[in-house]
Amino acid sequence: MARTIGLITELEVINSVLSTVGDNPVQSLDDGYQPVFIIKSMLNNLSRDMQTKKYWFNTEYDVVLTPNTLTDKIILPFNILHFEPLDTEYVARGLTVYDRVGRTSTITSDITADICLMLEFEELPQVARKYIQAQCKAQYNDEYLGEESLKGTLAQEINMAKIELDRAHMENEDINMLNSARANSVAFKNRRRS
């Protein structure tokens, strides 16, 4: 199988894990080989865990959420990981916004919130894919092979990938936060106090 140019694919992650433990590559994500199913599940869990930490690529600031005109409810996206409204009277109850002060999920006006979403692997930037790949190789080795000689190398690969991910996050988050209405509001309030 020819290596693709550009972003790492899910298939490449699976084959890199198989290669790390001395197994043969597969040609498709639909391959019936049991380790492929295990690695795909592991990859998805690791991706969710990583994205829960709210990175620049899966966090949207100052999103205006509008109630459904028929139900007077605000339904959140199915892939939401964090919901942080500007007004703290609102919380997420499942995928429905709930008003804690009014003790109701009936909401008749727009609310503004920061939201963090779980993205598919294909939507992730390269640095996030590399970090998930490194974690997946180490976890698969720990759980299914236990090869002690690989642990140090795999741990180092995770650390390097995490450094790159954190660096990219800091660079991108500075840009995003400076353009956020919330950041501008805070900066304006602080300027008025001085």
pLDDT digits (tens, 9 = 90+) for 4-61: 568 999 999 999 999 998 899 999 998 888 999 999 999 999 999 999 999 999 999 9
**Domain residue extents for the chain:** 10-53+120-182, 59-117
Q: State the pairing for strand pair 59-65/90-93.
A: unpaired
Bridge partners, 117 (sequence order): 80
The tens-digit pLDDT sequence of the chain (194 residues) is 444 568 999 999 999 999 998 899 999 998 888 999 999 999 999 999 999 999 999 999 999 999 999 999 999 999 999 999 999 999 999 999 999 999 999 999 999 999 999 999 999 999 999 999 999 999 999 998 878 888 999 999 999 999 999 999 999 987 655 555 555 554 444 443 34
Q: What angle, 0 to 180 degrees and rounded to 10, lies between the N-to-C axes of helices 126-140 and 148-178?
A: 150
CA-to-CA distance for 194 and 14, rounded, in angstroms?
55
CA-to-CA distance for 121 and 47, rounded, in angstroms?
7
Single pTM value for the model? 0.82
Listed in sequence order, the residues at least 6 apart from 6 whose beta carbon sits closer than 8 Å to its beta carbon are none
**Nearest CA to 82 among 114, 50, 45, 47?**
114
Average pLDDT value for the chain: 89
